[in-house]
Structure 1
Amino acid sequence: MSSLKELQDSFQRGILAGDDAILSEVNDSAKERRTILFGVYRNAYVARLAEILGNDYELLHAYLGDARFAKLVRAYIAANPSDQRNARWFGRYLPAFARETAPFANHAEIGEIAALEKALADAFDGPDAPPLSITALATISAEDWPRLVFQPHPTAIRLTFATNAAAIWLALKAETAPVKAARLPEPQALVVWRQDLMARFRPLEAEEAMIWDEAAKGVRFSVLCEMVATFAGEDGAELRAATYLRGWVDLGMLAGCRVE
């Protein structure tokens, strides 16, 4: 006779891996065979995972419709058995799965919409940190500014999209008809972060994306100004760099700064 632990392990393998060994421990009922009886548990488990993905990727579901989303979900569940006790993390691979798996990979906006939804959820759940304030910046002496480095808010996530997925997401969020999916002439840079109690995102033009990426690496403000001058000309370079910085501070995208 199997021990309770062995039965539990066998039951789990039957649900997660499709192992039919557990069927030897299940009796047929007067009305149904054991395969049907145990299938209820398997189907309920898959249905629960599908429900989790539908909640995590609500706007992707709206974009694809029930049938296409169900096809994506079934394929994802089959390829990615749950490996975490917390259901919050089950769908973490779905953006990559959609980008890399046919037929979904043939429509790049699918993976990018999923990536945006995941980033917004991750930013919302991310660690707390007080944002850098203008008042704090005002206490820094002028001679220290060239050596100033900045710390992005810990919830900040950088994305780069090849399609107009962000515009599609915004239309879906507003419950209006989304624009037709299209590849962009140039990649679109975005930053996702949490401001106060709301996860949000904003697109960055090429120059701002460049300076944000370098600032996030800990590059000094003086070097950032030089890079801006090289990118789009010396005229007004310091003002442009300062304008980007002021915008990041106003939006709570930075968590701190230090002099190096």
Structure 2
Amino acid sequence: MTSLKQLQERFQAGILAGDDTILGDVKDSARERRSVLFGVYRNAYVVRLAEILGNDYSQVHAYLGDEGFAKLARAYIAAHPSDRRNARWFGRHLPDFAKETAPFAGHPEIAEIAALEKALDDAFDGPEATPLAIGDLAAIPPEDWPRLTFKPHPTAVRLCFTTNAAEIWSALKDGMSPPAPARAPEPQALIVWRQEYMARFRPLAAEEAMMWDEAAKGVRFGVLCGMLATFAGEEDAEFRAATYLKAWMDSAMLTGCQVQQPLGEAQSGAPSFGAGNRASVRPVSQ
């Protein structure tokens, strides 16, 4: 005799893996065959997963339309069955799937729109942290600035797009007709992060993107200034570096700084600033 646990396991396998063993426990009705009857549950499950994807990737849905997004959702669900109890993570592979799978891979803006949506959701769900304040930097002696390193906000993510996906996303978010997809003349750097209660993104010019990437690795401020001098000329290199730094602080993109000890000295006494936490709520827009 089949136990309740065995029946539940067969039912789950029938829904999640397409295993037809469960059909042996289902009877045909007077009007319909058992495969059709059980198919109602299978279809309902797929529809629910597609709804989850549509909620998580609303602008991809808007861009592709109902029919196009349904095609993407069906292909994704077949390739990536749900493997987490929390539906929040079901669509985590969609950007890579769209990037690598035909026919969607032939339209790279689809994967990049999806990547931006995922990054914004992840930024909201990311760890809490108190932004670095101007007063924290004011406490650092000028002679220590060359050895200063910075800590990015834990939600900050760098993206690099090859298309105008960010412009398409923004237009769709505003309820406007999106521009036609186009290849960017050069890779477009973007930064995604959470500021207070809002997930945000903005483009980065090439020089700022380079400085951010190196600062995020822990490169000292003095070295960053030297890199900017090499990147776009020595004139005003320190001023440009300070301008970028202020913009990051004004936007709450940094959460700490530390004066690195000279080589050969212990770092345990190096002063650090910015280490608190704050509450967060889900943003309703960019």
TM-score, length basis structure 1:
0.99
Give the RMSD, CA atoms, in angstroms: 0.7
Give the Å deviation of 1:31.
Answer: 2.2
Q: Residue 265 of structure 2 aligns with which residue? A: none
Give the Å deviation of 1:30.
Answer: 2.3
Structure 2 residue identity aligned to 1:56: D
The runs of 5 or more residues in structure 1 that have no matched partner are: none
Higher helix proportion (structure 1 or 2): 1
Q: Residue 57 of structure 1 aligns with which residue? A: 57
Q: Residue 171 of structure 1 aligns with which residue? A: 171
Report matched runs for 1:41-80 at 5 Å: 41-80=41-80
Q: Secondary structure at the match of 1:189?
A: strand
Structure 2 residue identity aligned to 1:67: E
Q: Secondary structure at the match of 2:192?
A: strand
Range with greater deviation from structure 2 (232-241 or 8-17): 8-17
Q: Residue 282 of structure 2 aligns with which residue? A: none
The runs of 5 or more residues in structure 2 that have no matched partner are: 261-286
Question: How many angstroms apart in 2 are the aligned matches of 1:128 and 1:98?
Answer: 30
Q: Residue 203 of structure 1 aligns with which residue? A: 203
Q: Share of identical aligned residues, percent?
A: 73
TM-score, length basis structure 2:
0.90
Deviations 1:30-89 (A, max 9, x none): 222111111111011000000000000001100111111110000000000000000000
Q: Secondary structure at the match of 1:31?
A: coil
Question: How many angstroms apart in 2 are the aligned matches of 1:143 and 1:6?
Answer: 71
Give the Å deviation of 1:27.
Answer: 1.3
The alignment of Structure 1 onto Structure 2 pairs a total of residues equal to 260
- Structure 1 outlier segments of 4+, above 6 Å: none
Report matched runs for 1:220-235 at 5 Å: 220-235=220-235
Question: How many angstroms apart in 2 are the aligned matches of 1:38 and 1:184?
Answer: 48
Give the Å deviation of 1:191.
Answer: 0.4
Q: Residue 40 of structure 2 aligns with which residue? A: 40
Q: Secondary structure at the match of 1:118?
A: helix
Report matched runs for 1:1-260 at 5 Å: 1-260=1-260
